[in-house]
Amino acid sequence: MAITDLESLIERWERFFYDYYKEEIEEASVYYPERRSLFLDYWKLSIYDLELAEYLLENPYRSIYCAEKAIKNTIDLPIHFRLKNIPETKKVEIRNLRAQHLGKFISVDGLVKKVTEVRPKLEDALFECRKCGNTIKIPQQENILVEPVECYKDQGGCGRKSSFKLLTEKSRFIDAQKIELQESPEGLRGGAQPMRVVVYLEDDLVGQVVPGDRISVNGILRVQARRSGRIKFSEFNRVIDANSIEIKEQAFEEIQISEEDERRIIEVSKDPLLVQKIVASIAPTIYGLEMEKEALAMQLFGGVPKKMPDGTRIRGDIHILLVGDPGTAKSQLLRYISELAPRSIYTSGKSSSAAGLTASALKSDEFGEGNWTLEAGALVLADLGIACVDELDKMSPKDREALHQAMEQQEISVAKAGINATLKARCALLGAANPRLGRFDKAATIVDQINIPPTLLSRFDLIFPLTDKPDKARDEEMATHILEAHKYGERLQKEKNLEIEKMRPFFEPEFLRKYIAYAKRNI
Ligand code: ADP
Ligand code: MG
């Protein structure tokens, strides 16, 4: 039977609910109004009524409207209809969202970068006509208030052009929140800028996610007019109206480990020289620094957080600080680790982003239209991974304060205006800093020359001072090593299958990344 008009679509939904979803509907009516949503697994729908399911993906606004009408007809309650588990083919990456997806049901994965405070949004606006006093109802869909053009006769009005007064007490509001979703950094090797998309959440979906959460949003892509004052632009913004959200719990979901990979991982793990081999796989082009590299290897794996009987939590991550003279390969090592780690963020202490290293609550116009907005900083985005922070000594005073809690409790609390949240920051911190005067002064002790307060310094488990002392033999060896690396690099460009043991990481980075992810996930 073809789906032709709204009436038949509503009927079809009623039939589906009656035949296959009776229990769930009854349950929804029992829990109303504490729960206001009915969730439907796409897979279940497609088994019983494939045509209805496919129609839903192609015409989501219409279908959701009719499904909710059907629920209302059945149990007389305004319950949201929410779809879960939508097919893989509807998964779109944020950077691939295009005009063809407009008005269609899609699912996008990403990292929550910002959230606004929850605000009441007009759903049905009631206006009073200043001429006849009649009340006119205008349902609001856009984010810009729609007012009556005249006092509509079909709503019992006088039919004249008039001016209207908004009756806020009689209008109906729902909770609304905007979030900004960003591509996960794992998918972005090679320093590409992450793309973002704004997602609108309504009613019982609000307040569920905090910055730093990794989620899937199932919803509908639509355009939103851009305006600045009275000017309207012909280019539109794209936003997603969320229909449902799924918060991901599993770490490193994005790293695929095949059965073959697993076999190799288990085989390699039995090697008695494993530690040395892993260390030899870290930045082989960098000469020396064996102890530092071993520490970094340990940091990549980390330990296991422990929960004590009294409720305290002991972190499992190792924090490392490299502090040293300029040109001692600190930045190089940080870059290397951030590429190698299954999940990482590379940033500078003096980064330009308002959220900085920890988090910020700001009144934002660009994103929140004057809303308070909570934005995640580097340590939150690197949750369950490694935050590589170069020039750590140049961080803002605000971050300096917040870093204490972030490093020890591995969470960041923000309480400001309408925002009160605790963000997870279960990451290892790898920092690099220069000595106070740019170089170490031989006459003073090293600790006195690190431009980081002692309280914060004590949060690091390992601090490596890297000095650049002139030493003929060592400098010569290093110079040879660097020259060899260049020569090797040049030959590598010409000859694809070149075998030179020295500059090659023992395990290739892709494999080591999988090894680390496997260890962190399972062991
Ligand atoms: P820093 O951040 O400590 O000031 P960089 O990481 O920017 O230093 O390194 C400066 C340059 O010196 C880089 O090109 C790096 O490869 C080189 N370099 C420094 N130390 C070493 C080393 N031990 N082995 C190989 N190259 C090195
Ligand atoms: Mg540097």
Instruction: Report the pLDDT value the prediction gives residue 293, as an integer from 0 to 100.
Output: 93
Q: Place 444 in a pLDDT band, splitting at 50, 70 and 90.
A: confident
Average pLDDT over residues 481-498: 77
- Residue 241: closest CA among 104, 89, 65, 375: 104
% of the chain surpassing 70 pLDDT: 92
Contact 430, 298 (CB under 8 A): no
Whether residue 211 is preceded by a cis peptide bond, meaning omega within 30 degrees of 0, is no
Distance, in Å, from the CA atom of 519 to the CA atom of 479, rounded to the nearest integer, reads: 36
Minimum-distance ligand to the CA of 394?
A: 2
Reported as a single tens digit per residue, the pLDDT across 382-439 is: 888 899 999 888 888 888 888 888 888 888 888 877 778 889 899 999 999 988 887 7
Instruction: Report the pLDDT value the prediction gives residue 252, as an integer from 0 to 100.
Output: 64
For residue 292, is pLDDT > 90? yes
Distance, in Å, from the CA atom of 152 to the CA atom of 137, rounded to the nearest integer, reads: 9
Minimum-distance ligand to the CA of 465?
A: 1
Task: Name the range with the highest mean pLDDT among 142-156, 190-204, 257-271, 350-364.
Answer: 257-271
Q: Place 224 in a pLDDT band, splitting at 50, 70 and 90.
A: confident
Q: Which residues contact ligand 1 via a Cβ below 6 A?
A: 286-289, 326-332, 478, 482
Average pLDDT over residues 479-483: 88
Distance 480 CA to ligand 1 centre (A): 14
For atom 15 of ligand 1, which residue has the closest CA? Answer: 329
Neighbouring C-alpha atoms within 13 Å toward the C-beta of 396: 15
Beta-strand relationship, 359-364 and 371-376: antiparallel
Q: How far from 173 is each of 116, 147, 396, CA to CA, in Å?
A: 17, 16, 40
Which of 467, 482, 488, 503 to mutate for ligand 1's pocket (most ligand atoms within 8 Å of CB)? 482
Distance 333 CA to ligand 2 centre (A): 9
Q: Which residues surround ligand 2, an ion (CB under 5 A)?
A: 331
For atom 12 of ligand 1, which residue has the closest CA? Answer: 327
For atom 1 of ligand 1, which residue has the closest CA? Answer: 327
Minimum-distance ligand to the CA of 390?
A: 2
Distance, in Å, from the CA atom of 157 to the CA atom of 132, rounded to the nearest integer, reads: 7
Contact 237, 226 (CB under 8 A): yes
Distance 328 CA to ligand 1 centre (A): 5
- pTM confidence score: 0.81
